[in-house]
Amino acid sequence: MNILVSPSSVPNSNPVDLASTVLDRDAYLTELLNQVVQTRHSASVEVDAWLQELHERAALWVRKSVLPTTRDEEWRFTDLSSLRKVQFNVETLDATSVQADTLLVPEAANSRLVFVNGIYTPELSAVADLPDGIVVSNLTNLPVETRGGASLQSRVQQYLAQTEGAHEVFTALNTSGIKDVAVVWVAKNVVVETPIHLVFLVAGEAPSISLPRCLVVAETGSSVTLVEEFTNRRGAESAEKVYFTNAVTEIWIEENAQVSHTRLELEGAEAFHIGKTAVSQARDSRYTCHAVTFGGKLSRHNLEILQTGEQTETTLNGLTMIGGNQLADTHSAIALNYPYSTSRQLHKCIVGDRAHGVFNGKIFVPKPAQLTDAAQLNRNLLLSPKARVDTKPQLEITADNVKCAHGATVSQLEDDEIFYLQSRGIDENDARNLLINAFAAEIINQIPVPSLRERLTQTVNSYQSIIND
């Protein structure tokens, strides 16, 4: 019998006997939980029994957990002490300052789902003209028709909060506060031509915490393109506001299905962002992720892939561009438990000023996963003497017939390359910008949505004036 390797190797992620654990171990975390629970109880929406059980079980895990510190191996380069200094509140819905036209991705003009402070906002969404075979909805408005003898609501229960790593502290905090969920369900053998745009915003004046939740299910033989965006679109006057986004996205890809996922983190300059993307891949499935991180004072993305069948294909592309005192942390884990799988990962960091980039990528290849082909590369570009990168690509292999490779590079802009461009009539600043654009373009050009490629290229250009000394 094959023993599955879980990609979750973060603190508090392994089940233990809760009855033997002292509760309320972390006063700050307990206060966050209390805010979440009080807001959920004050809502007028009736909660189903199964969801209430999820809430209570997750809250129990939070109460027995503690926030990770730099003494924890998985967090040793990411200090959360600045998060502890802020007293957050869970904000109610406030979409009055958001303009719908600022949220547009032209290719997804009729397939957009918008959540403000984790609550579905129909006046900013556009999902009325979707083709047959796909559901894009929030949890409470799911259609009532049955498929395969069961309602969609009942089928959602089989997937929500069921991925590996559900007991990790930030994931459990999100689950304990679920008020609504973005649900994308693609029926068997349905190919969705247009991308689905999921937008998560935070609005409010006080330091606030938002708990976005997303569930994606691609049934056998289906194909879908997702654009998931966490952003601050409320104007320049709100760019410096402090808030905390704690997001969880679960993606279930069934046999021979395909999901292309673009994840954009464009939070405000003083924001905290901790996100989890948990993906389950069945036999012959294909998953591609383009993860782009530009915003946030402190951000972290945990990307966990669990293979549950043979011959899967996994492609992970990442781009982080930070400056000032930003810290951006990317942790990925790919558990390849079955044979004949292929995975490719390329993550790039552009770090300027006094910013700090972190990358830790793990690939697990246990003995049953023979004939696996996996490659991982982290490339980093430092733009100032005080910029810093900590990188740790990892392979854990016990299979003996595999092809696996990993590597990391850290470099600066080469003087001879800048000199060459100057000799062709390009001034020094433009030469530097041209080289930075070329470094980022390798990731951006692989994004399958043309308007996003153009927008991100413009964003890279605007960021250079901030982080390029």
pLDDT digit string, tens, across residues 330-381? 999 999 999 999 999 999 999 999 999 999 999 999 999 999 999 999 999 9
Inside any domain, residue 392: yes
Tell me the average pLDDT across 51-55.
Answer: 90
The continuous run of DSSP H or E covering 439 comes out as helix 428-444
Query: What is the spatial distance between Cα 433 and Cα 459, in angstroms, rounded to a whole number?
Result: 12
Inside any domain, residue 275: yes
Report the number of distinct structural domains present in the chain: 1
Instruction: Say what the pLDDT of residue 97 is.
Output: 60
Inside any domain, residue 29: yes
Inside any domain, residue 442: no
Tell me the average pLDDT across 175-194.
Answer: 93
Tell me the average pLDDT across 62-71.
Answer: 93
Inside any domain, residue 52: yes
For 31-45, 64-78, 327-341, 426-440, which range has the lowest pLDDT when averaged over its residues? Answer: 31-45
Q: Which domain holds residue 314?
A: 18-413
Whether 403 has a pLDDT exceeding 70, the answer reads yes
* % of the chain exceeding 90 in pLDDT: 63
For 145-154, 226-235, 303-312, which range has the lowest pLDDT when averaged over its residues? Answer: 145-154
Q: How confident is the model at residue 90 (pLDDT cuts 50, 70, 90)?
A: confident
Whether 16 has a pLDDT exceeding 70, the answer reads no
Q: If DSSP codes are grouped into helix, strand and coil, which group holds residue 204? A: coil
Inside any domain, residue 122: yes
Inside any domain, residue 451: no
Whether 13 has a pLDDT exceeding 60, the answer reads no
Whether 224 has a pLDDT exceeding 50, the answer reads yes
Amino acid at 273: H
Q: How confident is the model at residue 104 (pLDDT cuts 50, 70, 90)?
A: confident
Inside any domain, residue 299: yes
Amino acid at 311: Q
87-101, 203-217, 333-347 — which one is most confidently predicted on average? 333-347
Whether 81 has a pLDDT exceeding 90, the answer reads yes
Calculate the alpha carbon distances from 76 to 10, 47, 129, 349, 390 in Å. 11, 38, 47, 19, 10
* % of the chain exceeding 70 in pLDDT: 87
14-18, 110-114, 128-132, 277-281 — which one is most confidently predicted on average? 277-281
Tell me the average pLDDT across 398-412.
Answer: 94
Contacts of 117 (CB under 8 A, 6+ apart): 90, 91, 92, 93, 94, 201, 202, 203, 204, 208, 210
Tell me the average pLDDT across 385-389.
Answer: 95
Q: How confident is the model at residue 11 (pLDDT cuts 50, 70, 90)?
A: very low
Instruction: Say what the pLDDT of residue 334 is.
Output: 96
Query: What is the spatial distance between Cα 347 and Cα 380, in angstroms, rounded to a whole number?
Result: 8
Query: What is the spatial distance between Cα 333 and Cα 340, in angstroms, rounded to a whole number?
Result: 18
Return the axis-axis angle of helices 450-467 and 428-444, rounded to nearest 10°. Answer: 140
